[in-house]
Amino acid sequence: MLLLPEWLVTMDPAAGTLREGAVLVEGPRIVYCGSREGVPELPPETRVLEFPARIVLPGLVNAHTHLPMTLLRGLADDLPLRTWLEERIVPAEARLMTPEAVGAGARLGIAELLLGGTTCCADGYFHEPVVLAAAAELGLRGVFAQGVLDFPAPGAPDPRTAFAALRDHLRTGAGGLQSPAVFAHSLYTCSPATLRRAKALAREFGRRFFIHVAETAWESDWCREHADGLSPVAALERQDLLDGDTVLVHAVHVSPADADLIAAHGCAVVINTESNLKLASGVAPVKAYLERGVCLALGTDGAASNNDLDLFGEMATTARMQKLALGDPAAVSAEVVLRLATVGGAQALGLAATTGALRAGYEADLIAVRTDVPHACPLYDPVSHLVYAASASDVDLVLVAGQVRVQRGTLVGVPLGELMARVQALTQTCDIRASRAEPKARLGSTRPVGL
């Protein structure tokens, strides 16, 4: 098909942003992207799609989420992270998260991602083969990381069994648009031995290793107390966990020396501004990372701490929050934030050779955003609108690997009503609010010292 949008934002430095551009898609790939004058001769059966009031850009990349946690959306708001996690989320997960529930929550999350213009994600959860299978069914590209931690978790009531599930996932999970990875929850839920073993498996299979790190001031204090005064990032380095395949999630409470370490080891960092704001965790030092050339991506985190999976909202909040935190309206521009949500995400997930930008030879992961709406009028600069004015509901068309997944703002071939009814039924028959009365996990309280 040949797409002829009014605006084409390629995110390819060589092509930039074009008025009246053209994208030619054959099968799963882009074969031409550029001006209309340069379009090659078209095969006779080519479908030509005129988009007079649309911006076409690469599909967005959500580099950190927990898709099944859509089932916990709105269950526990307005609480600090430890109370939220220990007293509400962990007990609710123990009660609710069967493989069937994980599959339903993942499908709901994937539907939300696709409808909001996200074509690729990095997920981290338990029963991750179920999440990966849901992504394969609905056509979302992504990296699906099986979780390990030293506490009972969904699918691994005995933590000693977690590694068998992880190895299985790494061995069998690759194929198509989805690949497996490793998700070690955090320093305060995983012993040093668990962390090293998880990273060793990631290295053995050549996969990404994700970990929440330096999310809160409490975590930093806890780490210094248990790791000879080291910061969380320095503690990871001491365990030989930092390299170009490690993706650090949050990395909010970091010193300049920590940022230097992250840059020196070539780790990627995923910024989750809305989750950090809602849990009052802090503001990640985006500018410090950019100055050091750290690969940066954007994530929404799970729906239990955001409470949506909307990367348009995440872009807008990130740009505005950085300006406020630094007292500088020029601190982080719209162009930079859009780069984080596209090219940066693809780089963080190891997919930048074929995704994250619109370019001949790349995968046809692209979206069209409506501009025939009041909040996009007038239009001087499409990148400004994408970051500061557009919303997920403006997404009109979504292609993943050349397949149409959203058309005229509606999911193609997915019975969304049935899916939502299933989720409603699951969450109502299992009264997860009652889980408040159950014994609480005390994260960080039982770990061996000596990180």
In angstroms, give the least distance from the CB of 212 to Zn ion. Answer: 5
- Are 58 and 389 in contact by the 8 Å Cβ rule? The answer is no
In angstroms, give the least distance from the CB of 141 to Zn ion. Answer: 20
For residues 339 and 261, give the distance between their C-alpha atoms in angstroms, rounded to a whole number. 23
Could you tell me whether strands 246-250 and 17-19 are parallel, antiparallel, or unpaired per DSSP bridges? Answer: unpaired
In angstroms, give the least distance from the CB of 347 to Zn ion. Answer: 19
Between 301 and 394, whose beta carbon lies closer to Zn ion?
Answer: 301
In angstroms, give the least distance from the CB of 250 to Zn ion. Answer: 7
Between 248 and 386, whose beta carbon lies closer to Zn ion?
Answer: 248
Between 93 and 301, whose beta carbon lies closer to Zn ion?
Answer: 301
**Binding stretches for Zn ion (CB under 5 A):** 301
Between 10 and 306, whose beta carbon lies closer to Zn ion?
Answer: 306
Which amino acid is located at 24 in the chain?
L
In angstroms, give the least distance from the CB of 270 to Zn ion. Answer: 9
- Are 369 and 406 in contact by the 8 Å Cβ rule? The answer is no
* In 185-333, alpha helices (H): 192-205, 217-226, 232-238, 256-265, 273-278, 286-291, 311-326
- Are 118 and 156 in contact by the 8 Å Cβ rule? The answer is no
- Are 289 and 266 in contact by the 8 Å Cβ rule? The answer is no
For residues 298 and 300, give the distance between their C-alpha atoms in angstroms, rounded to a whole number. 7
In angstroms, give the least distance from the CB of 66 to Zn ion. Answer: 6
For residues 270 and 258, give the distance between their C-alpha atoms in angstroms, rounded to a whole number. 15
Between 2 and 94, whose beta carbon lies closer to Zn ion?
Answer: 94
In angstroms, give the least distance from the CB of 65 to Zn ion. Answer: 7
In angstroms, give the least distance from the CB of 168 to Zn ion. Answer: 23
In angstroms, give the least distance from the CB of 27 to Zn ion. Answer: 35
Two tokens, residue 10: 């390629």
In angstroms, give the least distance from the CB of 301 to Zn ion. Answer: 4
Between 128 and 301, whose beta carbon lies closer to Zn ion?
Answer: 301
For residues 232 and 201, give the distance between their C-alpha atoms in angstroms, rounded to a whole number. 21
Task: Give the residue from 345, 358, 367, 352 showing the smallest Cα distance to 300.
Answer: 345
What secondary structure letter does DSSP report for 153?
A: B
Q: Given CA atoms 58, 294, 269, 275 in this order, what sign does their dihedral have?
A: negative
Task: Give the residue from 215, 251, 185 showing the smallest Cα distance to 81.
Answer: 215
- Are 233 and 248 in contact by the 8 Å Cβ rule? The answer is yes
Question: Residue written as tokens 């550029």?
Answer: 34
89 sits in the region (left: phi over 0; alpha: psi -120 to 50; else beta) called alpha
Two tokens, residue 63: 């580099």
Q: How many residues does the chain have?
A: 451
Could you tell me whether strands 141-148 and 118-125 are parallel, antiparallel, or unpaired per DSSP bridges? Answer: parallel
Between 25 and 249, whose beta carbon lies closer to Zn ion?
Answer: 249
For residues 369 and 337, give the distance between their C-alpha atoms in angstroms, rounded to a whole number. 17
For residues 183 and 195, give the distance between their C-alpha atoms in angstroms, rounded to a whole number. 10
What secondary structure letter does DSSP report for 440?
A: P
Between 15 and 270, whose beta carbon lies closer to Zn ion?
Answer: 270
Helices (H) and strands (E) in the chain, counts: 16, 17
In angstroms, give the least distance from the CB of 305 to Zn ion. Answer: 7
